[in-house]
């Protein structure tokens, strides 16, 4: 393939380039930090300027939607990992205590408490 044909389709247009989510995030961060312009970011990523503008709009709207959905002190999934771990520990200790009670009763006999 000749050098001038690389990166173009049969009609001579630029081939589509798909960015990974990580690459999109990096481009978005560069724009937010004002490290680069839209044109520079598009050239670096090898995409069209409108793609970078759309990426910026989608990322901003996604962040706003996520912030609007979050509420202080309320968890979306309803499961607190620390609470679940504490309940599991309580269950484990309760079972161990029951087992120890049964062993003690078998060893010392029931007659002692009569």
Q: What is the pLDDT of residues 84-103, one digit of tens each?
A: 899 999 999 999 999 999 99
Structure tokens that stand for 109 in this block: 């006999």
Task: Return the residue matching tokens 């930090």.
Answer: 33
Q: Where are the domains of the chain?
A: 13-71, 80-114
**What integer best gives the mean pLDDT of the chain?**
82
Q: Which of 2-6, 7-11, 64-68 has the highest mean predicted lDDT (pLDDT)?
A: 64-68
Q: Rounded to an integer, what distance in angstroms lies between the CA atom of residue 59 and that of residue 61?
A: 6
Does the 13-71 domain belong in CATH 3.40.50?
no
25 within 8 A of 34, measured Cβ to Cβ = no
Q: For residue 28, how far is the Cα from the chain centroid? A: 17
Task: Return the residue matching tokens 């309320």.
Answer: 74
Query: What percentage of the chain's residues is helix, strand, coil (to nearest 5)?
Result: 65, 5, 30
């Amino acid at each position: 393939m000749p050098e001038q044909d690389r990166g173009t389709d049969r009609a001579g247009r630029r081939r589509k380039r798909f960015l990974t989510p990580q690459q999109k995030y990096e481009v978005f961060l560069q724009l937010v930090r004002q490290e680069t312009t839209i044109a520079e970011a598009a050239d670096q990523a090898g995409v069209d300027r409108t793609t970078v503008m759309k990426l910026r709009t989608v990322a901003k709207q996604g962040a706003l939607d996520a912030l609007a959905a979050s509420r202080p002190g309320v968890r979306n999934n309803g499961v607190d990992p620390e609470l679940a771990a504490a309940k599991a520990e309580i269950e484990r200790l309760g079972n161990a205590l029951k087992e120890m009670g049964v062993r003690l009763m078998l060893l010392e006999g029931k007659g002692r408490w009569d």
